[in-house]
Amino acid sequence: MVLAADFDITQQRVIESTNQPDQWLVHGRTYAEQRYSPLNQINTETVKNLGIAWVFETDTNRGHEATPIVVDDIMFSTSAWSIVYANDAKTGEMIWKFDPKVPKEKAYFVCCDVVNRGVAVWQGKVFLGTIDGRLIALDAKTGEMIWEKMTVNPSQAYSITGAPRVVKNKVVIGNGGAEYGVRGYVSAYDADTGDLVWRFYTVPGNPEDDLEEGENEKNESIMKLAASTWGGSNWLEVGGGGTVWDSMAYDPELDLLFIGTGNGGPWEQSRRSPDGGDNLFLSSIIALKPDTGEYVWHYQTTPGDKWDYTATQHMILAELEIDGRLRKVIMQAPKNGFFYVIDRTNGKLISAENYVKVTWASHVDPDSGRPVKIESGNYEEELKLIFPGPLGGHNWHPMSYNPNTGLVYIPVLEMYFAYSKDEAFTFDERLWNTGVDSKTTIPPKNILQLATLIKSVRGRLSAWDPVEQKEVWRNYHTLPWNGGTLTTAGNLVFQGNSDGEFVAFQADTGKRIWSTDLKSGIIAPPITYNIDGEQYVSVLVGWGGMFALYAGMPAKYSGGPVNGKIVTFALGSDLSIADGPPVLEMPYPPESNADQVSIDNGEAKYHSYCFVCHGAGAVGGGVISDLRYMSEETHDKFSAIVLGGMYANKGMVGFSDHLSPEDAEEIRAYLIQRAKDTYYLERLNSFLK
Ligand code: CA
């Protein structure tokens, strides 16, 4: 089907959309990325009549994180593996689909699931970043490819999960890979031709070297300054990190593009910068000129990061009245636990307070704008339990800002992490490079310790007053990793959660006033739009991402992956979702005569090589195979899969260059033991029912 509309999104149209909320034209609805909609047909009175108007099933079963774009009544969205769908936004009917055919073994080099956060639409084209690092322009009417550029060195473990943004006819895209030894940057490509216009590196190169392709020579002095904040020369070999993997915002009046940068790579600072230092521009918000990539200012949230504290979290632009003065601010709740309000004209700190428990710093000094680090965050000498952990107090799940309530709605994670320096660390670009001992992720054997750990990990929706810097209301959920938020003029906040509920809260009070069960974990942020006088709310459903893969804490619907969905609601509709994934039942595990030493070795190796995807303690999160439930047939093929790469086409590469046949057998012995533990627990649970 060829569409008649032009999908002619222009700068002017995006700017005017602030007061014209019928469509959802750009990632955060407007360039300010507030994720606030002035639509109010669905409100605190009418929301009780909200029901499912249409459901579209995607054909991938891993995490769904996209924000759909709605323009000229067509919805453009993405699923896992960077697949794009164009659907009629009123009926859900698919118009076209584009699959960039990402090599599946790429999954191994992606820290946090093969997710994609959506496309950009601009003057008849749809722009997509792919897991393997390509930027692709499609014809919005047909889904046919117009141009394609490789934005990264494909021999390195770069990836793209973020949504491109288009500013002044330039498509801006960053990348991920900080755990795999890459050097972060952001690039701008000409929307018409796909030619590289500029590139800004977030980690300096060797000051002795020439500029790289696309680098602005006006940035030479600031890059020299950045290089002076790194010690030793390790970072030139291990990449340094600082990847621009998600958030951006644009202020057309100031003509500034804001980007957020990621953590240090490796995490543990001495492995990349042995003499310490701030390590600019890790964990920073940076303002650039969108025409040239010229540096304007930066604000570093976590100088000398060693906790994986990215500042790639969602950034919101707003005008706030602070001490009687209207201020142009940028707001961010990065992983490090502080909520920042920054003057976006100059990058100076206005205020910062912790929105979640923080033990690595006492506070942010208002004069210097720097965090005051404390000993409880220092794990150089001994293991420390530190708040927040590497998933942060808030991760990529977008927050939203409602100008009527003056509140920011943050999907908060309450999680700590046991950080311990890995003394045996060596850099290996085929592995996770954190410099932090991964064996601390082995769950405690003691049942009371385990119960305490599980109880301490929670999710929370916080309504935060950015002027007063304090929480106004909160709502808890059993698990963290709940979806991004949308807020509307109907005095509502919408959020999906890890248990598959889609919930409406009253925006000013936090009262939970409506919910429905969508039968698979929700991590994506909802959007809203209006066609022919009818307001719709839409959200992607599909459990996945980092917490789901690694945490070893299954959500309610975790009996195995089901395909993702786009679920769209309207008033007076009443479709429902068929049942969720089946409940898994453990086959009796095969016999093993491995001794306890081998099982313990297997446990340690599992937590070095396998847990990042298959879950701590071998407890899968319902996204990819839970290895405790392996069939006899899979046990027989174990070494062909683990060493031989038999399932490379599913994303499970072979590990023969890191594991010996004995290692693989010890890991299998550990899995059999975990399967037995689970088998008896399941039987016990069914007796107790
Ligand atoms: Ca990271």
Residue with the two structure tokens 């003065």 = 325
CA 493 to chain centre: 20
**Ligand 1 center from residue 201 Cα (angstroms):** 17
**Residues facing residue 56 across a β-bridge:** 566
**Residues facing residue 145 across a β-bridge:** 138
**Ligand 1 center from residue 562 Cα (angstroms):** 27
| Whether 308 is catalytic | yes
Pairs from 220-229 (Cβ < 8 Å, separation ≥ 24): 222/295, 225/280, 226/280, 226/281, 228/277, 229/277, 229/278, 229/279, 229/280
pTM of the model: 0.97
- What was the pLDDT predicted at 541? 96
Which DSSP string corresponds to 492-553? EEEEE-TTSEEEEEETTT--EEEEEE-SS---SPPEEEEETTEEEEEEEE---SHHHHHS--
* Alpha carbon distance 91, 76 (integer Å): 13
CA 332 to chain centre: 15
Give whole-number Cα distances, 84 to 59, 81, 450, 458, 527, in Å. 11, 9, 41, 32, 17
| Catalytic site residue from 308, 437, 508, 663 | 308
Strand order in the sheet with 407-414: 400-402, 407-414, 458-465, 470-477
Structure tokens at 120: 């950009």
- What was the pLDDT predicted at 1? 59
**Residues facing residue 50 across a β-bridge:** 571
Q: Which residues of the chain have pLDDT under 70?
A: 1-2
Where are any strands of DSSP class E within 406-451? 407-414, 417-419
- What was the pLDDT predicted at 559? 73
The answer to whether residues 396 and 313 touch, using CB atoms and an 8 Å cutoff, is: yes
The answer to whether residues 358 and 386 touch, using CB atoms and an 8 Å cutoff, is: no
**Ligand 1 center from residue 281 Cα (angstroms):** 15
**Ligand 1 center from residue 486 Cα (angstroms):** 25
